[in-house]
Structure 1
Amino acid sequence: MTTLAFIGLGVMGSPMSVNAVRAGHRVVGYNRTPSKAAALVEAGGTAVHSVPKAVADADIVATVLPDSPDVEQTMNGPDGVFAHAKPGTVIVDFSTVRPDVAVRLADQAAERGHLFLDAPVSGGEEGAVNATLSIMVGGSDQAVEAAAPLLHAVGSTVVHVGPSGSGQLVKAANQLIVAANIAALAEALVYLEASGVQTTAAVEVLGGGLAGSTVLDHKARRMIDRDFAPGARIDLHHKDLGIVTASAREAGLALPIGSLVATLMASARANGDGGLDHAALFRTVERLSGRLDSM
């Protein structure tokens, strides 16, 4: 049994912590909103009211937080992970943050005697619930080996993609591909609906050909039903595409599709859809076509 600390028990962190309990580990969780620890406690985990209490006895600390500033504050503050985790603790950041932030945190962790991995995930809430997440891991071989009990408890595809920061670079690429697929699917469905085609039948045949994709399998039905209950929110995907465009600019790269989908995601957010699932990019395409009905 490994003692794990989970910091951040939201849409992703809560089911991930529950799956860690089910895998046989002792799990202590902390969230700024205490009520979000309910699922962990029901599964047999323990909830505490501070980061220091969560990490004090942990072998592995996992963070699942919204953005770079949240992760940096949680790691570096006077009540943060670096100050209160015991030497040799493995810290696994499942958040999606800027690659340069991941590298800096790895260096700071090493100065404190900790091991650090950037390990962003893909698969959304469904993947978190079913422990089928795809995890792209950046860091040392030693840290990856030490974190294996946690990584394999929450994900089904775990790949060490390179040194610190590499996980975040791969996640940025993932988010670019996903956004482009969502945008193309939204355009296709708006096009088919406007033409009077039965979209459920159309999706069935599209899924059997080269147009088939995980995005089509998981997001087409949501678009057809206008079911945009938040899983992977537009707010977060907007943030992720900002990472893509900023790092591409720094590298001197031109990513025309990346720039376009970033603009579409920004438009969705500006029009009040930021709290919806990123499948709600469908609404942006409808809006541009003058076909958007009220929710």
Structure 2
Amino acid sequence: MTANCRVGFIGTGIMGSHMARRLAQSGFRVTAWNRTPDKVGALKAFGVVAATEAAQAAREADVVISMLSSGPVCDEVLFGTHAVVDAMPSGSTLVVMSSIPVETVRKQAELAAQKGVRYVDAPVSGGEKGADEGTLAIMAGGEADTIDALRPIFAPLGRVTHIGPVGAGSLSKLANQLIVASNICAVAEALLLAERGGADPARVREALLGGFADSTVFRQHGRRMIEADFVPGGPAKYQIKDTGTALALAASLGLTLPIATEVDRIFRRLVVHGGGDLDHSAAIVELRRMNSR
């Protein structure tokens, strides 16, 4: 793929807007579509062309990137009413960077192949900050030669690792989400314990940086918890989407994941009390509620 490659970008939300912008700034010809048109309009200043319909973004694209919110939304936009894959040229490549179930990814790959479209599942980790700075961890599943051809497109977005065949990227993302969700809850509990015990949580965080307790979650979300800085952030409803998907897959494989089960319960309770759009690192708020009863 050259810098002159035509990229269709579907879904310019919290993460996707930064990703589409970075691709355009790197010289790719980007046409983007979003269900909320205003989110695409803001990208025109960076050279992104706004499509009025999803199929328009795909019609002449060499690569179409999907950054939509869920499996059902991906199915609807890519293969349903919006017919993105039907509009894609034969020989082009669909890269689904959304966090969706493994079985959905594999089925989508089969449908895309019937249309002569290559398929790669490449979910990401790193949050809005990673999307903005181009430091995302990209977990790719698909044919090795297809992923190698996509490396110039992945480069402005972050670091790509080829995990294995289609579906392997999504499996890696589920593993990532279980670690992240568990870490968020552990950090929230630890900081709450320090605060209730009479220590300054900011000083505790400072002391632990660089030790075994350190992590990206501890550095970024720990600071946000201390400062109560939860806007805009990633919605908690997306966290339970991923933990729920992971637990369903585990059950189908005959696995019991007790820590993930408890973490999923905590986030579901958080959504009930705070609303699905509440930032997922605000788990500390729910923990405070639980401990005040």
Fold shared per TM-score above 0.5: yes
1:160 is the counterpart of 2:162 = yes
Please tell me the residue identity of whatever aligns with 2:126: G
Distance of 2:283 and 2:51 partners within structure 1:
37
Equivalence for 1:196: 198
Instruction: List runs of 5+ in structure 2 lacking aligned partners.
Output: none
TM-score by length of 2: 0.97
For residue 142 of structure 1, report the CA deviation from its aligned partner.
2.6
Unaligned runs of 5+ in 1: none
Measured in 1, the distance between the counterparts of 2:209 and 2:32 equals 40
Contact 1:18 1:39 in 2 (8 A): no
Distance in 2 separating the partners of 1:152 and 1:50: 27
| Mapped pair 1:174 → 2:201 | no
Compute the TM-score of the two structures, normalised by the length of structure 1: 0.96
| CA RMSD across the alignment | 1.1
Contact kept? 1:273, 1:280, Cα under 8 Å: no
Q: In the alignment, is residue 84 of structure 1 matched against residue 87 of structure 2?
A: yes
Q: Is the 8 A contact 1:63 1:93 kept in 2?
A: yes
Give the CA deviation at 1:109. 0.7
Match for residue 211 of structure 2?
209
Cα deviation per residue 1:137-159 (whole Å; 9 max; x = unaligned)? 0111132123222211211x210
Indicate the residue corresponding to 1:61 in structure 2: 64
Matched, 1:119 2:111: no
| Residue-pair matches, total | 290
Could you tell me whether the CA contact under 8 Å between 2:101 and 2:170 is conserved in 1?
A: yes
Report what 2:285 is aligned to: 283
Matches of 2:81 and 2:129, distance apart in 1: 35
Q: Deviations over 1:102-145 (max 9, x none)?
A: 01111111111000111100000000000110000011113212
Report the identity percentage.
Answer: 39
Give the 3-state SS of the residue equivalent to 2:163 in structure 1: strand
Corresponding residue number in structure 1 for 2:226: 224
Higher mean displacement: 59-68 or 136-145:
136-145
C-alpha contact 1:230 1:275 (8 A) present in aligned 2: no
User: 1:197-276, aligned counterparts within 5 Å?
Assistant: 197-276=199-278
Aligned-pair distance for 1:198? 1.1
Residue 136 of structure 2 is matched in structure 1 by 133
Read off the aligned partner of 2:69 and give its amino acid letter.
P
Structure 2 equivalent of residue 46 of structure 1: 49
Counterpart CA distance in 2 for 1:290 and 1:78 is 48
Say whether 1:103 aligns with 2:106. yes
Residue aligned with 1:153, SS: coil
Note the alpha carbon deviations across 1:267-288, whole angstroms, 9 max, x for none.
0011124212211111111111
Can you list the C-alpha shifts for 1:133-191, whole angstroms capped at 9, x where unaligned? Answer: 00000111132123222211211x21000111111111000000001110000001111
Structure 1's consecutive aligned runs of 4 or more residues displaced over 3 angstroms after TM superposition are none
